[in-house]
Amino acid sequence: MSTEPGQTIRSAIARIAASDRLLVALDFDGTLSPLEDEPMDARMLPAARAALDALFAEPETLVALVSGRSLSDLRIIAEHDDESPLLLAGSHGAEFWIPGEGAVTHDDDPADAALRDELRAHAEQATAHIEGVWIEPKRFGFGVHTRRSSPAGATEANRLVDALVAAEAPQWRRRTGHNIIEYAFRHEGKDSAIAELRERTDASAVLFAGDDVTDEDALASLGEGDLGVHVGNRPTAATICVPDIPAMAELLAVIAAERSAARE
């Protein structure tokens, strides 16, 4: 049996671990935490938390979470406090938490917020009769969760809300994820989040990992000296794939260990 895939992964890990100033940017749901029917129940697996702690301990190593969650919700599920060294990019890169600085966001037009509230109410009314559908409020829009609905109910809910947004806010951005469709008046993506975090941290290389379709923009934006990791087995722009969250945690722990060994 060929050992080439293993050699490729080892080579990629060694290269990124040797970076002068490394930014490790990670999706949360499905990458560090299992997906939950109740989204606010999501928490990082202990092995993932331990791997992040090991990375924090290494000099010239920055760690960020990059999520579609609003910044306020991301802080809750990540158990993030004001003293944490963890950088956050919420709402697909429309809002940030910078250690020592706090929350950072870009100005919004009040008319956008008013339309957000109106459309969210319309979406709730349009889908109220469909069991298992939940409309999640987001700072820059809303999400239609269908994990607890039947396949037919999910299809109907998405059809109704797609038509609603197309009629009332055709300029909004639409994103598809695991049993969720998100609509937003802001057009930032995880690719722009990575670009801003890279600039803020002056990183010489970036590792980005994610599991969902919404992570592909960021994975495709990485440069030659970066490393993209996909958690799962679907087609992806990532350089390497790992099968699940424990394997992702193990990969992060290996990178931390290699950065530590390089200093000895």
CATH number of 4-106+188-263: 3.40.50.1000
Q: Taking a C-beta distance cutoff of 8 angstroms, is the pair 95, 104 a contact?
A: yes
pLDDT at 3: 32
DSSP state of 202: T
Q: Taking a C-beta distance cutoff of 8 angstroms, is the pair 215, 193 a contact?
A: no
Cα–Cα distance, 175 to 146 (Å, whole number): 14
Query: Which pair of tokens denotes residue 94?
Result: 């429309």
Cα–Cα distance, 17 to 255 (Å, whole number): 5
Question: Does residue 39 carry a pLDDT above 70?
Answer: yes
Q: Which CATH number fits domain 110-184: 1.10.3470, 1.20.120, 3.30.70, 3.40.1350?
A: 3.30.70
- Do domains 4-106+188-263 and 110-184 share one topology? The answer is no
pLDDT at 261: 87
The share of the chain scoring above pLDDT 90, in percent, equals 78
Query: Which pair of tokens denotes residue 180?
Result: 């969720």
Give this prediction's pTM. Answer: 0.80
pLDDT at 9: 80
- The domain limits of the chain are 4-106+188-263, 110-184
What lies within 8 Å, CB to CB, of 262 at 6+ separation is 17, 18
Cα–Cα distance, 37 to 174 (Å, whole number): 21
Per-residue pLDDT tens over the stretch 130-156:
999 999 998 889 999 999 999 999 999
pLDDT band at 4 (very low <50, low <70, confident <90, very high): very low
Q: What mean pLDDT is reported for the chain?
A: 92
Q: 10 Å Cβ neighbour count for 41?
A: 10
Looking only at the bridges linking them, the beta strands covering 102-105 and 134-138 are: unpaired
